[in-house]
Amino acid sequence: MKFLFITLFPEQIEQAAGHSIIKRAVDAGLVEVSCINPRDFAADRHRTVDDTPFGGGAGMVLKPEPMVAAIRAAKTKLPAARVIAMCPGGRTLRQSIVEEYAHSKQDLILVCGHYEGFDERIFGWVDEKLSVGDYVLTGGELPALIVMDAVARFIPGVLGKMASAVEDSFSTGLLEYPQYTRPVTFEGIEVPEVLRNGNHALIDRWRRKEALKATWLRRPDLLGELNKTDAKLLAEIKQELEGAENG
Ligand code: 4GS
């Protein structure tokens, strides 16, 4: 899968793609990362990419001509790609959107803004606006990198064979269950007995229950209709929590 970033700061993208799992995926040819810099499409000798906003106000706005020229160049390289502009006003990224991008196998052109934002007229060349959350950053590069990172995990071979993106938190619809490794006792805190006795049916049940408990306590909005088994586990959890409150 190909990810093309439209950015004034390609070094930020290249540096982020040069480590760990994404680097390995690039080296293995599973992921291709490239950048197009709108500054290369600026018409004047100062290579200006921003200007003051009509109507006044603080900050600078990205000029439409170099942005659209960069998007056109990107579309020539990747004609079938989906063009996504990173901005706080877009649809908020969630795991279901990540999976939608991954399963479509469509290459992604990720348009990164800087300064106050884009000239509104560029959105005619964009398929969709996407946000990574309700907060404001200095640039769209980190959000675009988040999109690539989350999508790349679903490309077969990117995670080692030990890990599977579809079994992860959120893809299961629940928060993560607690994980432990050696030593058995750390600072007097023991790894739960059930994880050490090798009974995989009991381990699966414990993990499902802990995932349900974490979700019920911290993100009850994620719990939809529960099947019979999960409903029974959640009833147990609520009873235990009541017991802990009253005891
Ligand atoms: C986000 C966000 C963002 C908005 C970029 C102000 C610089 C900045 N982009 N999700 N101009 N949150 N962009 O904050 O995607």
CA distance 63 to 46: 14
For residue 136 and ligand 1, the question of a CB distance below 6 A is answered with: yes
DSSP 132: S
Q: Which atom of ligand 1 is nearest to the CA of 114?
A: 7
Q: Can you give the length of the chain in residues?
A: 247
CB atoms within 10 A of CB 113: 25
Is 117's C-beta closer than 6 angstroms to any atom of ligand 1?
A: yes
The tens place of each residue's pLDDT in the chain, 247 residues long, gives 999 999 999 999 999 999 999 999 999 999 999 999 999 999 999 999 999 999 999 999 999 999 999 999 999 999 999 999 999 999 999 999 999 999 999 999 999 999 889 999 999 999 999 999 999 999 999 999 999 999 999 999 999 876 778 878 888 899 999 999 999 999 999 999 999 999 999 999 999 999 999 999 999 999 999 999 999 999 999 999 999 988 7
Rounded Cα distance between 190 and 187, Å, is 9
**221 tagged catalytic:** no
- pTM reported for the whole predicted model: 0.96
Give the residues across from 84 on adjacent strands.
110, 128
Contact (CB, 8 A) for 86 and 137:
no
For residue 102, report the distance from its CA to the centre of ligand 1, in Å. 22
State the distance from the centre of ligand 1 to the C-alpha of 44, rounded, in angstroms. 27
pLDDT of amino acid 160 = 86
Is 38 known to be catalytic? no
Distance CA(16)–CA(109), nearest Å, equals 17
Question: Quick check: is 44 catalytic?
Answer: no
Residue of 99, 127, 168, 176 with catalytic role: 168
Q: How far is the CA of 213 from the centre of ligand 1 (A)?
A: 33
> Is 120 assigned a catalytic role?
no
* pLDDT score recorded for residue 247: 78
Cβ contacts of 93 within 8 Å, gap of 6 or more = 130, 131, 132, 133, 146, 147, 150
| Distances, alpha carbon 157 to alpha carbons 4, 96, 166, 167, in Å | 20, 20, 13, 15
- Which among 10, 38, 66, 88 is annotated as catalytic? 88
What share of the chain in percent tops pLDDT 90? 93
Domains along the chain? 2-162 (3.40.1280.10), 185-246 (1.10.1270.20)
**What residue type is assigned to position 54 of the chain?**
F
pLDDT at 167: 76
pLDDT at residue 162 in the model: 60
